[in-house]
Amino acid sequence: MYPKHHPRVQQQRRLRQHIHRSHAETFFNLLTCPELLGEVESLVPPHRKRVFSPTETLSMFLAQALSADRSCQNVVNDTAVQRMTRGLPRCSTHTGAYCRARQRVPTEMLTTLVRQTGRRLTAQAPAPWRWRGRPVRLVDGTTVVMPDTPANQAAYPQSRSQKPGLGFPLCRIVGLLCLESGAVLNAAIGRYQGKGGDEQTLLRSILDTLERGDLLVGDAFYATYVLLCTLRELGIDAVFEQYGARQRRTDFRCGQRLGSRDHLMVLQKPIHKPDWMSQADYDQAPSTLMVRELRTGGKILVTTLLCPKTTHKSALKALFQNRWHVELDLRNIKST
């Protein structure tokens, strides 16, 4: 036995501490557990037998993102130590092989796992966490700064406020999150500006994530006639903040009065067809839509929950205040 201050003993202590701080093996065990193994294997592309297989690389990538030291060197060192403790052949601690392996991880593998884990987390959320027995989905958009490469600049142009060559490419992300669990259910990525980059367009591309009976909550970007009609056809209710221009024109003296600054209104289909909408879909859209408008918490809300007895103003106020969770969740995901 060596004394406790012997260099070999101190080295062993540092190795044990290193192992306990490493999360890559935990993620690997999770990705290869019986519940996920079949799904993960179906997403792994054909590959040569390497030290950094797609599953191993993804596990290391997750550990790297959640580590206080997010350097590639740190996660490669962790993996080298883990291999030694498991009796596996030694691997180089140079980071080049891991960085190349990370580039080979297919994007579809990542996005599919996000959706699958989101569904699993949501399914495990206790029923009392739901809003009046209904699952609540939050929608919001955010932007992400991307590496300044020619490919990114071509696909995701920078902000117009910056001179060419001085800014970074920007992409817009619209996410659907579960209020009960905080899990991401799906996300759509598009251009920061230009055709197809607005939040409405990105949301439409992932609407199939929602299920009949869901309740969608969002800000004023989503309170449009076409989206409300689409959600009603899908059996999904909505609570949105009223669109800015219409909010200024809201007159609670019109329509069917339900209470103080609370009424039912019949909206008319827009005269002009949206550019993105086909003529056939525009013709099939209903000519009118009844919604409820109410002022609460300093905001005007528009909702398809029409009955004031089953959904009182105070309940809708509390629900919409919870919308702020999506802002915090997206910010936390981006910073992590």
- In this predicted structure, the answer to whether residue 320 has a pLDDT above a threshold of 70 is yes
CA distance 319 to 336: 27
What pLDDT is stored for residue 28 in this prediction? 78
Tokens of 334: 């981006």
pLDDT digit string (tens) for 264-281? 999 999 888 888 888 988
- In this predicted structure, the answer to whether residue 19 has a pLDDT above a threshold of 50 is no
Q: Among the listed ranges 1-5, 18-22, 30-34, which one has the minimum average pLDDT value?
A: 18-22
- Residues contacting 157, CB < 8 A, separation 6+: 169, 170, 191, 192, 193, 194
- Alpha helix stretches (DSSP H) within the chain: 7-21, 24-31, 34-43, 54-66, 72-85, 96-104, 107-124, 150-155, 199-204, 225-233, 244-249, 279-284, 313-321, 324-335
What pLDDT is stored for residue 243 in this prediction? 80
What pLDDT is stored for residue 31 in this prediction? 79
| Structural domains of the chain sorted by starting position, each given as residue range(s) with its CATH number in brackets | 7-105 (no CATH), 109-335 (3.90.350.10)
What pLDDT is stored for residue 214 in this prediction? 96
265 DSSP β-pair partners: 291
Determine contact, residues 300/247, Cβ cutoff 8 Å.
yes
- In this predicted structure, the answer to whether residue 20 has a pLDDT above a threshold of 60 is no
- Residues contacting 108, CB < 8 A, separation 6+: 43
* Nearest partner of 36 among 115, 127, 122, 142, judged by Cα: 115
Please give the mean pLDDT across all residues of the chain.
85
240 DSSP β-pair partners: 218, 302
pTM of structure: 0.83
Most confident of 60-74, 87-101, 213-227: 213-227
Q: Residues 178-185: what's their mean pLDDT? A: 92
